[in-house]
Structure 1
Amino acid sequence: MSEDTKVALVTGANKGIGRGVAEQLAGLGMAVLVGARDARRGEDTAAVLRAGGGDVRAVALDVTDSAGIAAAAVEIEARYGRLDVLVNNAGITGSGQVSPAEAYDQVPSSVELGMVRSVFETNVFGVIAVTQAMLPLLRRSSAPRIVNVSSHGASLALTSDPDGPFAGLLPSAAYFPSKTALLALTVQYANELRKDGFLVNAAAPGYVDTDSNNHTGFLTVARGAAVVVRLATLGVDGPTGGFFGEEGPVPW
Structure 2
Amino acid sequence: MPVTRAKRILSRILLSLAALLVLTLGGTLVWTQVGVMSAEPGPLAHAEANPALTIESAPEGIVLSPADGDADVGLVFIPGAKVQPEGYIATLQDLAAEDGITVVITRPWLNLAFFDPRGLDAFTSAAPDVDSWMVSGHSLGGVRACQLAPDADALVLFASYCATDLSDYRMPVLSVSGSEDGLSTPQKVADARDLLPADARLVEIDGASHASFGAYGPQGGDGEPTVSDQAVRARITELIGTLAAEVR
TM norm structure 2 = 0.45
- Which structure has more relative contact order (CA 8 Å, sep 6+)? It is 1
Which structure's CA Rg is the greater one?
Answer: 2
TM norm structure 1 = 0.44
The structure richer in strand per residue is 2
